[in-house]
Amino acid sequence: MAATGLVTYAYFSLASHALAPADYGRITLLWAAVFIAVSVLYRPVEQLLARTVADRDARAGLGGGIGSRRPLRDAARIQLALAAAFTAAALALRAPLQDGLLGGSAALYWILLGAVLAYAASYFARGVLSGRGRLGAYGGLLLLESSVRVLFAIAVAVGLAAGASFVAFGMVVGPAVSLAVVAAFFARGTPRPPRTSTAMALPQPGEAVEPEFTLRRGAGYAGGVLAVMACEQAFLNVGPVLVNATEGAGGAALAGFVFNALLIVRAPLQLFQAVQAAILPHLTRLRARGHADPFQRG
């Protein structure tokens, strides 16, 4: 995760030196728009999957024999519905997005649409990997994504290509290529979780049991996380967008400057993602194994 953050910093550092200030500003506005959308829409499903997969694997390891694919199917339905809703909204709002946010660039608009849709699959894969405890594959997915993306900035910086659109195209290619990590992971097959000692048996008849995953319960959980993500993004990524909207002709260039400051400030958040990816499934497994206060134990 630390390496991913450094490579992402290199992407923006190279882009800021290779592009004119206004062009670089539009790159940062595109990035802000993409991650406002994917964080609010897709991180709830990532966390839903991490929690649900970890719970079911833990119960299967205890002898519960829980092996249904229904949670994956229902989470996929939620993800597809969110992606479809975003696509419809983006097409309906093309004029303000393209002309107001992205400086009239049709190429950047289509990159915005493509990147958000590509991240739908990426965040789904992150949730499954996190829930299975496959943090190496999780980190590899993110590192490969950022490494592919930075190649586009390098190509412009050394003169092999030119233009903000080429730099921005890495935002689509990165998550698409990184899914190769997930494909290889599932092609090998995922090992079954080890059986746990019988001292941590499944709840006995009459004891409280976690309700079965349903589409309704999953959507309720994801909706709560979505509200939290909206609040988070309000102060993490909205700043450059507001600067661009209020500063007139020089708004895009100033938005790039503000984004650079925020990029450094957010470095601790990048590292915390490593904790976030591990702690929710870990606490879920402890709860599934019968610990009354998994947070205290964890």
Token look-up 């002309």 returns: 99
pLDDT tens-place values along the chain, 298 residues long: 889 989 999 999 999 999 999 999 999 999 999 988 998 888 888 888 888 888 888 877 655 444 556 777 878 888 888 899 999 999 999 999 998 888 889 999 999 999 999 998 888 888 888 888 888 888 888 999 999 999 999 999 999 998 999 999 999 999 888 777 667 666 665 554 444 443 444 444 444 444 455 556 666 777 777 788 888 877 778 888 888 888 877 888 888 888 888 888 777 877 788 888 888 888 888 888 777 777 776 6
Q: Cβ atoms within 10 A of the Cβ of 157, count?
A: 18
Per-residue buried b or exposed e for 198-222, using 16+ beta carbons within 10 Å of the residue's own CB: eeeebeeeeeeeeeebeeeebbebb
H-run or E-run covering 208: none
Select from 116, 107, 129 the least CA-distant residue to 36.
116
The token duo for 95 is: 């004029």
